[in-house]
Amino acid sequence: MNMKKVALGFLILTLLIFSHLGWAKEDRTFLSAEVIQQLIDFVVENNSILRSQRKIITEIESIPLPERIWDANLTLKGGLGTAEDENTYVIRTVPSVSLGLEIPLYDPSKKRDILQERVAFNENLEKTKQRYNDLKNSIVSNLLNKIARLSQLDNEKKNLIKLKSYLKDNLSSLEKQVKAGVEEPDTLWALSERIMNLDTKIYNLSSQFETLKWEIATTLGGEKWQELLQLLDEIGI
């Protein structure tokens, strides 16, 4: 996969997230660019799947490759021999040592085998790195999609809270009209019921928001999921 295309895809997805955050509004943003990058870096560093893949890459890179094509053998032999004294003509037993150097003939097949082994090693390493990059891209994309969902839940909750505030103001005004006989009591009860339904929806959105944060932390944060949850606690209202 072309890394420039991957980076561009992440940029587009991030911009789509920010488009949900309401930058044009005067309210504070749902999540800053710095926090998003912090979350991405944290997940990439601590996700158990990615950590395992990086360990595999390190182990492969540490495997020594054959470099020598020529194999020279140096041998040292020792034993006992005989020697005749020039003066007495006595034959004595003396130690003997021999040093030998054996250089085999050039073998082109051996060079070919070494080159093939290097090619296979490089191909295996490249495939492993590509698999790691694919997994990283998938996990980061999953993270960004879940953050986008958090943004959606957060915005829905904010909108319902604003609507509830508006309806409560109307309820106060309607109560005065009912007391004055301008409006029927049924109208007041209908509006009160609508406000209670909004309370239920707001509670459900809050629950979904918190559940999704736990899901992100426990599935993507590896052994440091609790630290990731603390980062996610900075999100939302």
Q: Render pLDDT for 88-146 as a digit per residue (tens, 0 to 9).
A: 655 666 565 565 655 555 556 666 767 777 888 888 889 999 999 999 999 999 999 99
**Residue 33's pLDDT is what?**
80
The residue type of 23 is: W
pLDDT at residue 1, as a whole number:
46
User: Is the domain of 26 the same as that of 112?
Assistant: yes
- Whether residue 43 has pLDDT greater than 50: yes
Residues 91 and 152 in one domain: no
Q: Check residue 207 and give its pLDDT.
A: 95
The amino acid at residue 217 is: A
**145, 149, 153: which is closest to 43 by C-alpha?**
145
Shared domain check, 206 and 127: yes
Which 8-state DSSP code applies to residue 2? -
If 0-12 CB within 10 Å is exposed, 13-18 middle and 19+ buried, where does residue 100 land?
exposed
pLDDT tens by residue, 159-172: 999 999 998 888 88
pLDDT band at 188 (very low <50, low <70, confident <90, very high): confident
Range of the domain at 97: 73-102
Structure tokens at 215: 């899901």
Do 93 and 132 have their domain in common?
A: no
Write out pLDDT tens, residues 227-236.
999 888 876 5
Q: Is 153 inside a domain boundary?
A: yes
Total of domains in the chain: 2
The dihedral sign for the CA sequence 145, 147, 149, 151: negative
pLDDT at 128: 92
Tokens of 9: 């895809």
Specify whether the CB–CB gap between 114 and 91 falls below 8 A: no
- Does 237 map to a domain? no
* Last residue within a domain, chosen from 51, 83, 102: 102
**Whether residue 12 is found in the same domain as residue 55:** yes
Same domain, 59 and 141: yes
According to the model, what pLDDT value does residue 118 have? 80
For residues 110 and 97, membership in a common domain is answered with no
Domain match, 115 and 183 both:
yes
Residue 113 pLDDT:
67
Place of tokens 């509830």: 164
